[in-house]
Amino acid sequence: MSAPLHRRIYAELEGRILSGELAPGDRIPFEHELTARYGCSRMTVSKAISELAGRGLVTRRRRAGTFVAQPKAHAAVLAIPDLRAEVRERGQTYDYALLERIERGPSDADEVELASGGRLLDLTCLHRADGAPLALERRLIALGAAPQAVDVDFQTVPPGSWLLDSAPWTEAENRISAVEADAATARLLQLRPGAACLCVERRTWRDGQGVTRVWQTFPGDRYDLVARFSSAHAKDQS
């Protein structure tokens, strides 16, 4: 029994995409062109394209057509940024304020794992660029892994900058999400409540022992993350 026509159209387009004949950014034929080619209804073609879109192989752009999607990585290696250095490299004036500092024991299972039997330094701070809020940061430092942090004056030294210089890590994990600013976050970042923000959650370890966990919340229009990488296919061709 032959496959339904929409599945044949799907399979042929999928094959052209996966083979590289249609590269990321290329437009696939318009629906009316596919309708004429396969001698079928617009609904049949639309169903095939919808399945391609559902698999993430194509993206539909209103009035422009349907294009082969850029490849998505499930994980990308991102350098751990030093916000102070990044702001200064852009030629802006960096400013920083420590809002709260608490030394305490862990309060949940994730914190127990990070602390590894020790205590935590709980820091909240605000980073600014040219006087405008850039990031609200909440950070936990495991004092078992970085005991010298107790004596650091984080009123003047950003904890991220200090950690990069003084507490080396061997493994890191980044989690990036879009969030809406709650009332407290909006007030500190000078946004309206509910404004779109980028949240970067990061954990680092040294030889299996947790070092820090941090949440950095950025106004959505003031920060981005870029990962540059090569495909395995490109390496095979080199």
**What would the pLDDT profile of 21-38 be if each residue is shown by its tens digit?**
988 889 999 999 999 999
- Supply the mean pLDDT for the chain: 86
Tokens found for residue 33: 């062109």
CA 112/CA 210 separation, integer angstroms: 10
Residues 6+ apart with CB under 8 A from 231: 71
CATH number of 5-68: 1.10.10.10
pLDDT value, residue 234: 44
- The pLDDT-based confidence of 149 (bands split at 50, 70, 90) is very high
**35: its two tokens:** 């309708």
Beta strands in 42-163 (DSSP E): 58-61, 65-68, 94-104, 120-129, 132-142
Q: Is pLDDT at 74 greater than 50 in this prediction? A: no
Enter the CATH code of domain 83-219: 3.40.1410.10
The pLDDT tens digits of the residues spanning 173-228 come to 888 899 999 999 999 999 999 999 999 999 999 878 899 999 999 998 777 666 55
| Predicted TM-score of the model (pTM) | 0.63
Chain region(s) in the chain for CATH 3.40.1410.10: 83-219
What is residue 54's predicted lDDT score, i.e. its pLDDT?
78
Residue ranges, comma separated, of all CATH 1.10.10.10 domains in the chain are 5-68
Per-residue 3-state assignment (H helix, E strand, C coil) for 187-200? HHHCCCCCCEEEEE
